[in-house]
Amino acid sequence: MLSYQHIYHAGNLADVHKHASLSVLFELLTKKDKPLSYIETHSGRGVYDLSSVESEKTKEAQFGIKQIKLPENHIYTKLISRIHEEIGENIYPGSPFIAEALLRPTDTLHLMELHPTEYKYLYQYMRYPNTHLHHRDGFEGGLGICPPNPARGMIFIDPSYEVKTEYKTVGDFAIKLHKKWNVGIICIWYPILKENYHFELVETLKTMNNFYKSEVYFSKPATALLGSGLAIINTPFGADEELNKIKKWNF
């Protein structure tokens, strides 16, 4: 949706869950020398200033990345610490920035964002040689790009879910995408709300290959968001063990 800007929510507990999980997946995928493709359908601006007016308005990061105790030696923890040291304490990396930091020069990134303001920032922050920016609808663009070259790789789907029909849209998109790119890893984030809109989406995704689900519920929800969910199709070997460890963090 063109009204959504993630800066209001950056660094919340859902971000910690999904970005820590993505960091694990990037670490596993880069163990092989073979290059890969990484695609995002809803990239946002890539980098967030948690001291901004927008972030301060909601203060979601105060109950998220600024409060949670991260395991000392986790790849996500190391990345956050490095960013704080090199850029600033109030800078929070979105998934595009994490991908660029943890993937290699031989890997290819495709980042899609339709919102004009978000795309402007994305263009400002993410102009790297191996990164291709697309000012287009992520669902349309994802189907257009796939199967990518190289065919080995992952797509991350993280829309706003501002309207409940988007859960069905994501499920339908994943089915079409899986048919076009049956070797691709499909990673989908979804919010957990009291209405449980995600139930139907998860049931749809469970029908596909090597399905894995990670859900965490927040002990003290600061908003209507009760928890965070991540579903993966074609889950990489060994990923479930590492991702299950994140579910035990003190959310």
Question: Which residues are marked as active site?
Answer: 158
Say if strands 47-49 and 91-93 run parallel, antiparallel, or are unpaired: antiparallel
Answer yes or no: are the C-beta atoms of 154 and 184 closer than 8 Å: yes
Provide the b/e sequence for 193-217 (b: ≥16 CB within 10 Å).
eeeebbeebbebbeebeeebbbebe
5 phi, psi to nearest 5 deg: -135, 120
Amino acid at position 91, single letter: I
Q: Could you tell me how far CA 194 lies from the centroid of its own chain?
A: 22
Give the H or E element holding residue 225. Answer: none
Answer yes or no: are the C-beta atoms of 19 and 93 closer than 8 Å: yes
Q: How far apart are CA 188 and CA 41, in angstroms?
A: 10
Q: How far apart are CA 86 and CA 78, in angstroms?
A: 12
Q: How far apart are CA 120 and CA 46, in angstroms?
A: 11
Q: Which three-class secondary structure string do you get for 71-91? A: CCCCHHHHHHHHHHHHCCCCE
